[in-house]
Homo-oligomer: A and B are copies of this chain.
């Protein structure tokens, strides 16, 4: 059994990790930390887990994380970058769900997160945890930086087009819509039910922290800089991201349906819908799947890709488990085989 620990398990990515890992046949959860809830049973804090785990939260300094084979960070940004080096030194592999190791450039990180990066020397070593791009590298990774939720949905939708140079890389638009759990389990007035229900709005149009991450990934796929307008929106649903992606085709005659099906044929967690369909976010609720559909409205020169994921599963904790499976040589779908809960 792989001994796994979780740092910061009281948020939504934390409880999603717990849901997945308590059922994972090859993983034994041995430690979970929370300063605030230290001593409390996890199943007392999350009654949905009653009967599923006997784990208790421990204070970070008490938890024997260095005895783990792998430690997940489900923390806000600027936490992992302080603690990861010691764990790596102790031989523990790390899967970081936060933003700390996603960007390769420390200056860019500082620009968007407002403080210097605490361990810039580890940025190069970190493997970006998008298996559909980095599967091979993940096998040997000591430190995995799991992609953000928007970046997962946007990159999986644009990748085939950019890799094959079928679109103008300066013309990309990502109009993305997220469920409210993406804002985290934290006290913000803007997350209150009566502030967001029966309403929707865009936010951070001037610049969202996922923008440089998406740019970095798409530039790598395109082999050059890309131009991207990224507009996130908050939608009154719990889970789910719907990214609607636009780009100018440079070769309008290409068979886009075939391109997408071919690119993702062997991917266990990317599903290309038949031509003409529209994926619903609920079709991936609680599942580690990205569903894509590709359209060319009115036969014009703009391609529209619809990309849906569950922000907490393929957009966070499910993808983290997928990375773990690859890192430890397990079948990639281990513990991730459930279909969506629908309705």
Contact = CB atoms under 8 A, between A and B. Distances in A.
Nearest to A242: B200
How many copies are assembled? 4
A244 B343 contact: no
A227 B19 CA distance: 41
Interface string A97-108: 000000000000
Interface in A298-334: 298, 300, 302, 304, 306, 308
Interface string A104-136: 000000000000000000000000000000000
Interface in A140-161: none
Contact of A199 (B46, B207, B240, B273): B240
Which among A48, A49, A187 has the greatest number of chain B C-beta atoms within 10 A? A48
Contacts of A238: 193-194, 197-198, 343
Interface of A: 12, 15, 19, 22-23, 46-52, 173, 175, 177, 179-181, 185, 187-189, 191-203, 205-207, 227, 229-231, 233, 235-240, 242, 244, 246, 271, 273, 276-287, 289, 291, 295, 297-298, 300, 302, 304, 306, 308, 337-343
